[in-house]
Amino acid sequence: MTNLVEVRNLKIEATTDAGRVVEIIKGVSLDIADGEIIALIGESGSGKTTVALSLMGHARPGCRITGGEINVNGKNMAALSEKERAKLRGTDIAYVPQSAAASFNPSSTIMEQVIEVTRIHKLMPPEQARKRAVELFRALSLPDPEGIGARYPHQVSGGQLQRLSAAMALIGDPKLVIFDEPTTALDVTTQIDVLKAFKSVMRAGGIAGVYVSHDLAVVAQIADRIVVLKGGEVQETGTTAQILSAAQHPYTRELLAAFEPKRRQAQTEASTNQLLRIDNVTAGYGAVRDDGLPLIRAVDSVSLLVEKGRNLGVIGESGCGKSTLARVIAGIHPAAAGDIVFDGKDLQRAARNRSQDQLREMQIVFQYADTALNPAKPVEDIIARPLAFYHRLDRQARSKRVDELLDMVRLPRALRYRHPSELSGGQKQRVNFARALAANPKLIICDEITSALDTVVASAVIDLLKELQRELGLSYIFISHDLSVVEAICDEIMVMYNGERVEQITPDKVKAATHPYSKLLFSSVPKLDPTWLDGLVRDPELVSQYGHR
């Protein structure tokens, strides 16, 4: 055998809640050489995590490996008994989970869990294991490598936990490490540190890896080869350079195309019509202090302006206050101070004090269509409610309008009878959007509406939004952590950090950002270029000042 891993014609079945058996992996084959890192890339439901876990002989509850061979280091994981597999887990093959925060046992110290592999497999005495762990912490450039192990998982940040789980994987000197979307839940500025740490320890140890991700740009930085999965089948395999420059399969091309969004035609005639202006708005949580402001300020004296027919993007990392800002504007979370002027009139801070027309003209669309659509109602009822509530349309007029709205968001009319659970993620988000359109709004606040969608689906939704804007003369406030999405649709971009507005620029000036945080943020967005991470030079002072780590 020449390769470390040889998977041949792997088949995995899943039993649905209804008891039906579906084949979710349909004959996947792949090879991994010693020390080689391959990436498994694909959208949600493509089976990439399932394939990765099968390399450890593990199938999640409800799934079953039904066919094929999984040869890892000369042993067929599919044929071994559970006891024999347990012997190889942690020693030959190790796993770095998607959410380290959920994968650390909250009631035990980090060190205990990092060295647990050495206890289970009796690899070395605990003293030696602890020393080895501290070395790994240092190699993964974790702060306070001597002391961090004594802490409990909830006392450590997400980016650090992700690196600690890599230490947990590496302590048993595995030949193969499986990374299951390890940076997906992290902010971009944190993601870079984690990626760099992973890359350097893997290179140093000559360890082979499987990197599961949906993000081509991230994968380009770390993988030698890329395997593109869709619908439980391998679509294309190639070296990273091949895939990036000369992709063969249409699906891979679509993935790549989604990465280069078409910039919106810049609005030439700068309209002078103000639609929304907010001045020095402050909002937050916790006890109200003497000056009438809350103890914790999520939004701190932010001002912004949206003109008719133009779009404002708000970008920032988790916890910067951008979602709170959206809720403040919509009146869901009333501001503690500041003014909101909408279409020439002062708006009350709380939604319940605003007039019905004011509520109608400003709509908000949320990130998770799953929770934004009532699962107990069919699509037509969901879309028809604003029609009845705001426009008092009768049954027949409503029904006609629902059809029109479905046409507008490019959904087949027959979908109106379905329940949200019977729709795909992209379809749900379109219904979510159609409901906002039903109100005939002037402004739609989009709170991370593409973040939960796969890349290709998200870019289609963005295209739809642009089209609707042309037809209906809407304005959007587009809140996102994803620069490429904001760049694609917005005329102005506002950068938020720690509740404050740090800078506002136009998309074509992103490269020329002046504020140090904007510079750090924009430079941290991974590029499709495989040399990007290695060539990236960051000002360490900036990173320590603004990085959440």
Partner 1 sequence: MKSGVLNLVLKRLAITVVTLLIVLFAVFFATSMLPGDTASILLGQAATPEAVAGLREAMHLNDPAILRFLRWLFGLLHGDLGTSYANEMPVAQLIGGRFVNTMELAGITTLLSVPLALTLGITAAMLRGSIYDRTVTILSIGIISVPEFMVATLAVLVFAVYLRWLPALSSVNEAHSLTDLVRIYAMPVITLTFVISAQMIRMTRAAVIETLSTPYVEMALLKGASRSRMVLKHALPNALGPIVNAVALSLSYLVGGVIIVETIFNYPGIAKLMVDAVATRDLPLIQSCAMIFCLGYLLLITAADIIAIISNPRLR
Partner 2 sequence: MTMARAVASRRSFLGHSYNLVGVIASLIILAWTLIAIFAPYIIPHSIGDIVDDDYFGPMRQGLWLGSDYLGRDMLSRVLMGARYTVGISLAAVAISCFSGVVLGMIAAVTGGWLDTCLSRFLDAMNSIPSKLFGLVVVAAVGSSIPVLILTLAVIYIPGAYRFARALAVNINTMDFMTVARVRGESTIYLIGSEILPNIIRPVLADFGLRFVFIVLLLSGLSFLGLGLQPPLADWGALVRENIGGLPFAAPAVIVPSLAIASLTISVNLLIDNLPKKIRDRDA
Tokens of 544: 């320590």
x/- letters, 184..223, toward partner 2 (CB under 8 A): ----------------------------------------
Q: What is the DSSP letter of 323?
A: H
Among 86, 305, 351, 397, binds partner 1 (CB under 8 A): 86
Under the binding rule (CB under 8 A), the answer on residue 163 touching partner 1 is no
How far apart CA 158 and CA 186 sit, in angstroms, is 7
Q: Please, which residue, 32 or 364, has the CB nearer to partner 2?
A: 364
Question: Which residue stretches of 55-125 are H helix?
Answer: 82-88, 100-103, 110-114, 116-120
Q: Which does 226 bind (CB under 5 to 8 A by kind): partner 2, partner 1, none?
A: none
Please work out, in degrees rounded to the nearest 5, the angle formed at the alpha carbon of residue 409 by the alpha carbons of 403 and 413. 35
Closest CA to 454 of 135, 27, 44, 12: 44
| Cβ within 8 Å of residue 412, ≥6 positions away | 406
**Residues 514 and 503: beta-carbon distance below 8 Å:** yes
- CA 20 to the chain's CA centroid: 30
Strand order, beta sheet including 337-342: 294-307, 274-288, 337-342, 345-346
Residue with tokens 């289970």: 120
Under the binding rule (CB under 8 A), the answer on residue 87 touching partner 1 is yes
Q: Pick the piece of the chain touching partner 2 (CB under 8 A) from 111-119, 268-276, 300-308, 329-337.
A: 329-337
Q: Pick the piece of the chain touching partner 2 (CB under 8 A) from 13-21, 161-169, 265-273, 504-512.
A: 13-21
Among 154, 352, 392, 395, binds partner 1 (CB under 8 A): 154
Under the binding rule (CB under 8 A), the answer on residue 152 touching partner 1 is yes
Under the binding rule (CB under 8 A), the answer on residue 148 touching partner 1 is no
Closest approach, Cβ 83 to partner 2, in A, equals 31
Under the binding rule (CB under 8 A), the answer on residue 123 touching partner 1 is no
Q: Which does 121 bind (CB under 5 to 8 A by kind): partner 1, partner 2, none?
A: partner 1
| Single-letter residue type at 456 | V
Number of H helices, E strands in the chain: 22, 20
Strands, E, within 394-520: which ranges?
A: 443-447, 475-480, 492-497, 500-505
Among 9, 271, 273, 421, binds partner 2 (CB under 8 A): 421
x/- letters, 24..63, toward partner 1 (CB under 8 A): -----------------------------x--x-x-xx--
Q: What is Dmax (Cα atoms) for the chain?
A: 77
Closest approach, Cβ 178 to partner 1, in A, equals 9
Q: Which does 351 bind (CB under 5 to 8 A by kind): partner 2, partner 1, none?
A: partner 2
| Cβ within 8 Å of residue 502, ≥6 positions away | 495, 496, 515, 517, 518
- Where along the sequence are the contacts to partner 2 (CB under 8 A)? 16-20, 22, 24, 45, 231, 330-332, 351-352, 356, 359, 364, 366, 368, 371-377, 385-386, 389-390, 419, 421-425, 435, 439
- Where along the sequence are the contacts to partner 1 (CB under 8 A)? 53, 56, 58, 60-61, 86-91, 94-95, 97, 99, 102-108, 116-117, 120-121, 152, 154, 168
